[in-house]
Structure 1
Amino acid sequence: MDYLSSPSTLDGVIARPRLLTALAPEKILQIRLLCAPAGFGKTVLARQFSELDSIFRVLRISLPSNQPLTSALIMTQISAALGLPETEDHRLCEDLLEALDACSNALIILDDYRPSADTDDWLLDFIQQSSSQWLITARHKPKWPLGRLLLEGQLIELNSEDLELTVPELTSILALMSPEESFCAKSLYDQTNGWVAGVRLFLYAQTSHQSHTQTNLHRSPYLLDYLDQEVLGLMPLSDRHLLNVIAHAPFIDSAICSVISGEKFSLQQLIARQSFLRTLPGSTNRFTVYEPLRSVLRERYPDAKKALIGVLDWLDLSEQSLTLFSYAIRVSDTTRAVKALSKVALNQLFAENNLSLILSGLNELEVDDFTHQPKALIVATRSLIMAGNLELAECYLSTLPNQQQWIGSKLAIQAELALHRGQAQEACHLSSQALIELNKNKDWTQMILCFSCMTRAQLALGQYEQAQRHQMQGLELARLKGKMLLECQLLLDQVQVEELAGHLHRALQVLDKLKVLIGQSGGSTLLSGSERIRHGWLLMLTGDDDGARLPLEQGQELSMASGTPVFFYSYILLAQIDARNGNHEQAQQRLAEVQRALYARGVSEPIYRSVLIVGKASVELLAQQYQPVMNILERLWQKYNDPTSLTPPSSTPELFALMSFLHAQALTSQGSLDKAIQVLTQVLEKAEGFGFQVIVSQALMALGKARHQRGDIRQAERMLASATVMAIRQGQGQILLEGHSNSAIAFNENPKTKVLPTTITASTETLLSPREHVVLELIAKGHSNAEIAEILSISLHTVKAHAKRINAKFQVNSRALAVARAKTLGLLM
């Protein structure tokens, strides 16, 4: 039975290809472990996996829950499944191993295993003595050396986070089950947090026409009954009380949990029991209760305020300011919350998932709550800018006192506001003033952030060299002062600098360094999300759309969890990948989703509007919707093609070029070649003036294609040859693929013949250097050495040297034989 192709239903149950593939059915493994709390579909998944391959001889063993679990009980169950006669206990183990060895490709499903000190070691030893494959479902982990088993390739483990239903899976489920159209997949995910049992209970309520569960799933009698039986009913009263308190807390860690419960290892015990505790996004040591259980516990036990208030003094004494802020907000102590926020260092905004915690707290506060707390105002305003809420940030900033000690901070924040609003020149001016004031107070954090702001502002203005200089100054200051997280931010700026200079491989290397540094600094949801999205974009530039999809999806999830609007870039880029693969409907759906998300989060339009418009135009162009693209881009062109107009968003300084490429492509499709060439010439001149070499090569390639189509063969050949050499040197695989597949380019007179992407790939990976390949293609066109030298702007001696090396590599002694040999090898068409 093929579950791996697409989502499907069997007996009313959804098959999930993602998980079935993750269990590696093609591999022979000793242990596949599904470890998650109740209600994650472990049993169903195990059954579906067993039905993937008819070669398996499946032994399904459901261990009884009403009997103590012992090795003897497990052996008896296996013996019964094998149909063996009853035998003495001391011989049973040997008989079972012998019978299992006789089974060809046996898969033993051990369902609802309950780990214990008495059975864990015995079971692992028994599994390793047998020749069978085992699939074990359990609510918490057995005490096995899981790390060693993973390294040795004996184990695959899927936990609760793996087994959660994703939004795309929920979309498929709703489409297959056809519930009432008024409920969407995202809303269902928000209520259930991907909990399989919650989703199934919701669908059951839908078929039973119990519409009240749509708005309050946690009040559904079905859900309450399930939790009573499967979760709360199996827990000791002490644990249940502790869960009640945790459900009202913003989050807990080991120290907080021990303060609340009075027991040092209470958190570890809860985690060991798999009691629906979840790791807070972006953290490794902060936990919260699984969302459906949180809603139920809050409903049943509303009075947990006393226990939370008891934690506030301890948090204050231990100087955990950010945690104190979150707890004070939860118990509505706004005065204490604002005072705690004033003690939060700005660099902490980049750590773990702190920005999201601050933003959620600010939702409960008003500007008036910050009276006489300028430090808290600075942190709050910075947070709001990072979240894209520029209007509220300006409102907060206006209340900051105009005293000398706050002037530097105020100027620095005003600079960041100006940059996000598309006023890069003003941002540079304000940053310069801020640096002078901040240096007086030795406010290193704000100074480093100012250098980052200036770098991005100067890139938006096309001042590449100045941007590079300020980026290096900021990076040196961050390293000198030990501000590791701010160093990560400056490395992100460096990636953008390297990318625009055409050093794509160097940019990817900086991202690798950045990823390590984020881990060493304790982790950051915000920085990790930006790193993943930028990594995906660079992979797209190198021509690896398939490789780009995963980091873009990871970046989308991380940046949405962090509270920043950076996630909209991943939506747009994924939509472009979908459109390139012909999935235009999925692409349009992504663009609609991101627009709703941006609106719901209150992100200011200057941050994303123009980029979203260009993304939509790109998708529509791939769908051959030329006239709508023309209308969109001509309006946007007027907005950015005036010296007094707004500058591009700081994350997309190349917006003008991207917009122009799409405009030229739309013009070309309508036969307006002269106008397209005019647009592209303007892009080329501007990119050369800015020093954006990555845009120069793209503009040369596009111009070459347009001129070739107009019949300017000699100029087209020169441009395309230069663009190809630059793109290969830069690592821009995407424009090579487009240039060699979308049109007849310089090396092919016949417009019906296309140079395949493998032409470049094969030559660079196996035989010829990139420059030798270009020379060979020009030789194949019949150009003389002197003409090739003129086209490539190199000396005649260099051309002869290239030709000599080509002959030597092909082991021939003439140009004609070299061309024939290259065609035989598939290096030329």
Structure 2
Amino acid sequence: MALLQDANSDQMMVEHSAVQLLRWRDELPEGLLQSSPKLILLETWALILCARLDEAMACLQGLSRFLPRPDAHRQRLCLAHYQATLGVLQRQFALPDARRNCSDALQHLEERFWGQHILCHQALAQQAMVEGDLTVARQHCQAGLRLSRRHANLCFEALLSVEHIHLLALSGEHRHALDYAEQMLAELRKHAHGGPMSARLHVLRGELLALRGDDTGAEAGLQRGLREAEESQDAYLLYAYHALISLACERGEVERAHQLLLAAERRMQRLCIPEIRYREVLRLARARLCLASGEPARARDELLGVLAELGLNPLLAPTGFYDLQYRVRLLLAQAHDELGETTRASHELQALQRDCQRLGLRSLACETQLRLAETLHALDQAAAEEHLREALQDCRRLSLLRPLARLQRNDASWSRQLLAQLPALAPANRAPDTAEAPPAPTEMLSQRELEVLELIAQGCSNQEIAEQLEISLHTVKTHARRINIKLEVERRTQAVARAKASGLLA
């Protein structure tokens, strides 16, 4: 019991701590973990991490037995803890009150309860991403990361880093997102941290590699993340299954995709995950499988069903699937196109592209424009080529290879000439006709490395750079070392001079 009394929410994210706590609960005398407010909250956080949300909500109600508290201060504190936990739960249940409860908790929780502050910032960042407000999401991610670094807590830093990587990917900053994921994984390895955060980062890394056209690396990363998520009983394994299903569909491995879909549903049910956390995602995956199987009518019906559910509750997107409704709209337009409803599909894609551009969903906007180019070719070849040319330039800027690989597999003669104009973006398995020129420094450096280099050029110290970019001092040093290696110099002053000479810096 003393060990449990000393435990806190961040320890639930290490290795299999949440799973172990729930095993202990089943072995301890009934109701023992309900004997104090702290133990109730600890059990609730363990249940949340394992996505046993119905049980978590019931467990949290046990706090009412300890109200009112003996004095006003403890009463306010207990209510703030309740609001923080309830707000996080409400986000998982896609309830709009999540924002109000998490915001209230942030105002009333004392600074010493920084862990709960971080969890509230995570929930608010998730809510903002679902609502398409990437600016607010970034603010909450940064606030949570600052707190975790201030208290040198790697578990919480990894937790917020997962959301930050999602945010970067939504914004089209794929190089930065991949660098970030790899750096966090290196930190976790260095400190021998496994568990759900390691699993999530491996899954994200795999998905980002897939976007860059590295199917082999993507498969390995996704499989490793899936194994670790299975061991931790982390519901994030849904994200890994969906990414693997998408890869299988793009390769034409229909039977494997079908088996993965069945396995994902079976695993969600065995873990007692509420349907609200996975139902619409699996319907999206099923629609993707229908399209790969040449059944666009079935895909359309599935996707219309998902959109109907999202229309009733726009916050329904589970963790990681923050652009769910827009992904559904993209696939629905594809289904309509394959059903011969070309004009309808083009209108849907044009509306979707406008929405993505307005919200700053640059990656999805680029994919949508590529699909629009294909659809428009049957209606207006000149407009199709213009859209394709713009999309190819965006793919180059965003390091997006996956949609280009799909376009090349379609082998449309009209697009082949434009694709050939960007040999550096051609899929890795294509043999180049001629040797490619060495990449320019702007292509060699990631977005984050460029930001660090600009601050170096302004005369900032490593500590000042860390504070401005809200990253660790160790990460700044890693970026500086990589910049020197890529620019083939030894000192910071040489890196700045080389960058200016190449036009990388003004």
Q: Per-residue displacement from partner, 1:458-517 (whole Å, max 9, x unpaired)?
A: 111100011111111111111112222111111111111111111111101001110122
The one-letter code sitting in structure 2 at the alignment partner of 1:389 is R
The equivalent residue for 1:42 is: none
Maintained 8 Å contact 1:698/1:735: yes
Give the C-alpha shift of residue 366 in structure 1. 8.3
CA distance in structure 1 between the aligned counterparts of 2:435 and 2:140, rounded to whole angstroms: 38
Deviation per residue, 1:376-421 (Å, 9 max, x gap): 1111111111111111110001111343222222111111111111
Residues in 2 aligned to 1:588 and 1:707: alpha-carbon distance in whole angstroms: 31
Unaligned runs of 5+ in 1: 1-335, 771-829
Other-structure match for 1:584: 254
SS in 2 for 1:523: coil
Amino acid corresponding to residue 377 of structure 1 in structure 2: I
- Distance 1:385-1:364 versus aligned 2 partners, 3 A rule: same
Distance 2:335 2:38 in 1: 51
Pick closer, same or farther for the CA change 1:763–1:396 going to 2, 3 Å.
farther
Residue 410 of structure 1 pairs with residue 89 of structure 2:
no
**Structure 2 equivalent of residue 428 of structure 1:** 99
Alignment map for 1:156-555 (pairs within 5 Å): 336=1, 340-364=3-27, 368-401=31-64, 402=67, 403-423=75-95, 425-438=96-109, 440=110, 442-555=112-225
* Pairwise CA distance, 1:739: 2.5
Shift of 1:591: 1.2
Partner of 2:244: 574
CA distance in 1, matches of 2:386, 2:52: 48
Supply the distance in 2 between the matched residues of 1:764 and 1:694 (Cα, whole angstroms). Answer: 30
SS at match of 1:671: coil
Q: Within 1, Cα distance between the matches of 2:337 and 2:245?
A: 23
Look up the equivalent residue of 1:397 and give its one-letter code.
L
Amino acid at match of 1:436: Q
Partner of 2:341: 672
Q: CA separation in 1, counterparts of 2:82 and 2:195? A: 27
1:544-578 deviation digits (Å, cap 9, x = unpaired): 22221111111111001012111122222223322
Q: Distance in 1 between matches of 2:172 and 2:93?
A: 27
Q: 1:352 to 1:371 in 2, by over 3 A?
A: closer
Cα shift at 1:746? 5.8
More off after superposition, 394-403 vs 550-559: 394-403
2:307 is aligned with 1:637 = yes
Q: C-alpha deviations, 1:23-52, integer Å up to 9, x for none?
A: xxxxxxxxxxxxxxxxxxxxxxxxxxxxxx
Amino acid at match of 2:400: Q
**Structure 1 residue 587: Cα displacement:** 1.6
| Partner secondary structure for residue 442 of structure 1 | helix
Question: Contact 2:401–2:425 (CA<8 Å) still a contact in 1?
Answer: no
Task: For residues 707-758 of structure 1, give each alpha carbon's deviation from its aligned partner in whole angstroms, at most 9, with x where no partner exists.
Answer: 112x222322222111111111111100111223326376469xxx996996
In structure 2, the CA distance between the partners of 1:369 and 1:602, relative to structure 1 (3 Å rule), is: same
Code of the residue aligned with 1:429 in structure 2: it is: R
Contact 2:276 2:316 in 1 (8 A): no
Cα drift, residue 765 of structure 1: 7.8
State whether residues 748 and 755 of structure 1, in contact with CA within 8 Å, keep that contact through their aligned partners in structure 2.
yes
Question: Any conservation in 2 of the 1:428–1:458 contact (CA below 8 Å)?
Answer: no
Please state how far the C-alpha of 1:650 moved relative to its aligned partner.
2.7
Read off the aligned partner of 1:435 and give its amino acid letter.
L
CA positional deviation for 1:344:
0.7
Over the matched positions of the two proteins, sequence identity in percent amounts to: 22
**2:393 pairs with 1:725:** yes
2:250–2:406 Cα contact (<8 Å) kept: no
Q: Which amino acid aligns with 1:405?
A: L
Contact 2:174/2:398, CA 8 A, preserved across alignment? yes
- Indicate if the aligned counterparts of 1:741 and 1:757 stay in contact, CA closer than 8 A: no
* Deviation digits for residues 86-117 of structure 1 (CA, Å, limit 9, x no counterpart): xxxxxxxxxxxxxxxxxxxxxxxxxxxxxxxx
Query: TM-score w.r.t. structure 1 length?
Result: 0.49
- Rounded to whole Å, the distance in 2 between the matches of 1:598 and 1:444 is 31
Q: Does the Cα contact within 8 Å between 1:359 and 1:563 map onto a contact in 2?
A: no
Deviation at 1:596, TM superposition (A): 1.2
Query: 8 Å contact 1:495–1:511 — kept in the other structure?
Result: yes
> 1:528, CA displacement in angstroms?
1.0
Q: Which residue of 1 aligns with 2:498?
A: none
- Corresponding letter in the other structure for 1:689: R
Q: Secondary structure of the equivalent of 2:62?
A: coil
Match of 1:158 in 2: none
Q: 1:764 to 1:454 in 2, by over 3 A?
A: farther
Secondary structure at the aligned position of 1:732 is classed as: coil
Deviations 1:29-77 (A, max 9, x none): xxxxxxxxxxxxxxxxxxxxxxxxxxxxxxxxxxxxxxxxxxxxxxxxx
Q: How does 1:562-641 map to 2 (within 5 A)?
A: 562-641=232-311
Match of 2:375 in 1: 706
Distance in structure 1 (CA, Å) of the matches to 2:29 and 2:347: 52
Q: Deviations over 1:206-226 (max 9, x none)?
A: xxxxxxxxxxxxxxxxxxxxx
- Partner of 1:738 in structure 2? 406
Residues 210 and 402 in structure 2, CA contact (< 8 A), matched pair in contact too: yes
By how many angstroms is 1:767 displaced?
Answer: 4.1
Supply the distance in 1 between the matched residues of 2:416 and 2:425 (Cα, whole angstroms). 14
Distance, in Å, in 1 between the alignment partners of 2:376 and 2:228 is 44
Cα distance change on mapping 1:765 and 1:571 into 2, 3 Å:
farther
| CA deviations over 1:311-359 (Å, ceiling 9, x no partner) | xxxxxxxxxxxxxxxxxxxxxxxxx4xx642321211111222122123
Specify whether residues 534 and 748 from structure 1 end up closer, same or farther in structure 2 by C-alpha distance, changes over 3 A only: closer
Q: 2:355 is matched with which residue? A: 686
Q: 1:441 to 1:365 in 2, by over 3 A?
A: farther
Give the equivalent residue in structure 2 for 1:265: none
Whichever structure has more helix as a proportion of its residues is 2
Deviations 1:576-632 (A, max 9, x none): 322333322222112112211111110111111111111121122111121211111
Matches within 5 A, 1:82-101: none
Structure with greater strand percent: 1
Structure-2 separation of matches of 1:451 and 1:704: 39
Residue identity matched to 1:433: D
- Determine helix, strand or coil for the equivalent of 2:124: helix
The residue identity in structure 2 corresponding to 1:387 is C
Letter in 2 for 1:730: L
TM-score between the two structures when normalised by the length of structure 2: 0.79
1:657 aligned partner, one-letter code? Y
Q: Aligned equivalents of 1:421 and 1:434: distance in 2?
A: 18
**What's the secondary structure of 2:235's corresponding residue?**
coil
